[in-house]
C-alpha cells in the first residue's frame, strides 16, 4: 500500500506548487488580462446570442430547440374533465 500523502493546507503548503509572484503585476499586465477576459466573454455571449431559435431563448438546449405546445384557454368545463379532487364536508 502506498504511503498516505500529507494534506496540503495553508500551514503546510505543497512544495511543488509555487503561487507567489516574484514581482508584482504592472498596470499594463492587469489591463491586458482584463481586455483578454472581456474579449473571451463577449465572444461567448455572441455565440450564445446567435444560437437563439425564432427569438425564443427559454426553450433551447444544446441539442436543439424543444417543441413547446401553444397555450390555450382552460374553461371550467375543461377543468371538470380532468376530474379534480372532490371534497366532502366543509373543509
* pLDDT above 70 for 2: no
The whole-number average pLDDT for the span 14-41 is 83
**Residue 6 and residue 67: Cα distance in Å, rounded?**
53
**Residue 88 and residue 91: Cα distance in Å, rounded?**
7
* pLDDT above 60 for 62: no
**Listed residue (51, 4, 28) closest to 59, CA to CA:** 51
Match 493546507 to its residue by C-alpha cell. Answer: 9
**Listed residue (51, 71, 70) closest to 61, CA to CA:** 51
Chain centroid to Cα 4, Å, comes to 36
The whole-number average pLDDT for the span 36-60 is 76
Q: Enter the pTM of the model.
A: 0.37
Amino acid at each position: 500500500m502506498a504511503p498516505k500523502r500529507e494534506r496540503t493546507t495553508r500551514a503546510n503548503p505543497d512544495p511543488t506548487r509555487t503561487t507567489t509572484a516574484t514581482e508584482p503585476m504592472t498596470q499594463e499586465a492587469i489591463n491586458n488580462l482584463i481586455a483578454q477576459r472581456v474579449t473571451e466573454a463577449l465572444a461567448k455571449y455572441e455565440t450564445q446570442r446567435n444560437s437563439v431559435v425564432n427569438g425564443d431563448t427559454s426553450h433551447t438546449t444544446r441539442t436543439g430547440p424543444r417543441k413547446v405546445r401553444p397555450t390555450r384557454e382552460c374553461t371550467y368545463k375543461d377543468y371538470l374533465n380532468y376530474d379534480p379532487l372532490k371534497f366532502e364536508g366543509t373543509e
